[in-house]
Structure 1
Amino acid sequence: MRVHRIIPNLHVPDVGATADFYAGYLGLSHEDLGLGWVTRYVASAAEDGATAGAELQVVTRDGSAPQDAVASVLVDDVDAAYDEARARGYEIVHPLTTEAWGVRRFFVRAPDGNVLNVAAHRR
């Protein structure tokens, strides 16, 4: 398994109310994910390489998991990540699931108590 992107999840009461700050004030591009309970804001990498791009998601609640995650960790092989988490004895908070919106994912609790959404987009 290789991690290729980590996106922090900020918990908010209303994703729609975040646009003025994150898009208007910070100038991030808004990516509507079409789910209502989560949206993403993105800063593109600078052409001169001076900055690397950044992403964050604002989330009211997770759409299908029993607990919210502090970050989404996108990996190249989510099934292998799931098998390894189980082999290491980590608590699986949400089972390996292919969600209706095109993501295969599971939630795992890190030893420090943080819950991570480990995911891969369907190919």
Structure 2
Amino acid sequence: MRAKRIMANLRVADIEATKSFYTDYLGLGTEEFNMGWVARYTSPDRKANIQLVTGDATAPEDSVISVHTDDIDGAYEEAQKFGYEIVHPLTTEAWGVRRFFVRAPDGNVINIVHHRD
């Protein structure tokens, strides 16, 4: 699998109560999206970003990072081939991404995702 971008997913109790720290203080002032349970904030030059997550809407566990890839099907097959635990199966979500969650050997849950072009 080839990762083209990795983004931290920070667990927060309330996105609205927390976002000014990340947008105003850290300068991640561009809200790329906000679905109520997950929101992405990015710097104006798009070199820094973060996702705030209150709890994943469709997966049984929250992920600590999102790894974006162009070959989601290949990444899924490779994870299975290596015997890694699939926490959330390969799914096309209602908001248009294809993703799955895999547990790393250290126990961290990783969101492997592909956005439509």
Instruction: Give the TM bin, normalised by the shorter chain.
Output: over 0.9
Q: 2:64 maps to what in 1? A: 70
- Name 2:21's counterpart in structure 1: 21
Normalized against structure 1, the TM-score is what?
Answer: 0.89
Most deviating of 110-119 and 52-61: 52-61
CA distance in 1, matches of 2:112, 2:32: 20
Alignment of 1:45-84 (within 5 A): 45=45, 53-84=47-78
Separation in 2, partners of 1:44, 1:112:
34
Indicate yes or no: 2:111 matched with 1:117: yes
Q: Deviating runs (4+, > 2 A) in structure 1? A: none
How big is each residue's C-alpha offset from its partner over 1:32-55, in whole Å with a ceiling of 9 and x where there is no partner? 52411011111244xxxxxx8111
Equivalent positions of 1:98-109 (< 5 A) are 98-109=92-103
RMSD: 1.4
Structure 1 residue runs without a partner (length 5+): 46-51
Q: Which amino acid aligns with 1:122?
A: R
Instruction: Using the aligned pairs only, state the percent identity.
Output: 60
Q: Residue 31 of structure 1: CA displacement? A: 1.6
Q: TM-score, normalised by structure 2?
A: 0.93
User: What amino acid maps onto 2:14 in structure 1?
Assistant: D
Aligned-pair CA distance for 1:105: 0.2
Q: 1:34 to 1:42 in 2, by over 3 A?
A: closer
* Structure whose CA Rg is larger: 1
Q: How many residues align?
A: 117
